[in-house]
Amino acid sequence: MANKTQNNPAVKKYVKTGIIAAIVIVVAALGIWGISAMRGNGGTSVEEALEMVSTDAANAADLRIAVIRMDAIQTDAAVLKDLNAQREKYENELRDELESRQKELESEKAEIEKSQDVLSRDALQRRVVDYQNRVTELQRDLTERAQSIEIAFQKALNTVQNEHLNPIIEGIIAKKNLSMVIDGRFTRIGANATNLDITNEVISALDKKVSKVKMDTPQGF
């Protein structure tokens, strides 16, 4: 039991890794399906498919573009700093409980090992089964509560985005008469590109509008 946390990444790292892995698998499967479907449909040439596409395109002289670094907003905006602190508080509480209950189980395991020569075979087997059931229950309880933390956190994030961040971005788009806003995480900006990155303006406006959004209390807390 001493290395229970190491052998159980779902308890140590909670469930995010598993959820992300599942998403990756699903996305990969969808990607494979899409490629297969494309290869199986050879009835139309590229030229024929492009007949419906017009020759119209945006004129660069008319475009007003800005960049927002969403990663910076997630780490620097006051409301998101506070949300991360709320989530961390619950995660630390869950981690402390894991360590406490793990020590209890380790102590019980040691007692079972000492009683092997004292208890009857049936009594020993019942005690071992009861111990294993408690370990399984602990894993299930911690996993469900970790999921509940993530659900509450994501709900609060959605509130920030829909009620605060999106209106601010839309307001900046209107005020600056922008044609397009790009996520700066996937762009490279040259040194001579002035007034392109509006991240700090977004953060300042967001901080002025809201500094805290309370997470719902996760299940089991």
pLDDT for the residue numbered 8? 44
Q: Angle at Cα 184 formed by Cα 55 and Cα 194, nearest 5°? A: 85
pLDDT for the residue numbered 160? 94
Which of the four pLDDT bands, split at 50, 70 and 90, describes residue 43?
A: low
Which of the four pLDDT bands, split at 50, 70 and 90, describes residue 13?
A: very low
DSSP string of 127-173, one letter each residue: HHHHHHHHHHHHHHHHHHHHHHHHHHHHHHHHHHIIIIIHHHHHHHH
Average pLDDT over residues 108-134: 85
DSSP string of 45-111, one letter each residue: -HHHHGGGS-S----GGG--EEEE-HHHHHHHSHHHHHHHHHHHHHHHHHHHHHHHHHHHHHHHHHH
Please write down the long-range contacts of 15-21, taking CB distance under 8 Å and 24 or more positions apart. Answer: 15/143, 15/146, 15/147, 15/150, 16/146, 16/150, 19/150
pLDDT at 79 over 60: yes
Average pLDDT, the chain: 79
Neighbours of 26 (CB within 10 A): 10
Per the model's pLDDT, the better-predicted residue between 124 and 12 turns out to be 124
Which of the four pLDDT bands, split at 50, 70 and 90, describes residue 214?
A: very high
pLDDT for the residue numbered 135? 87
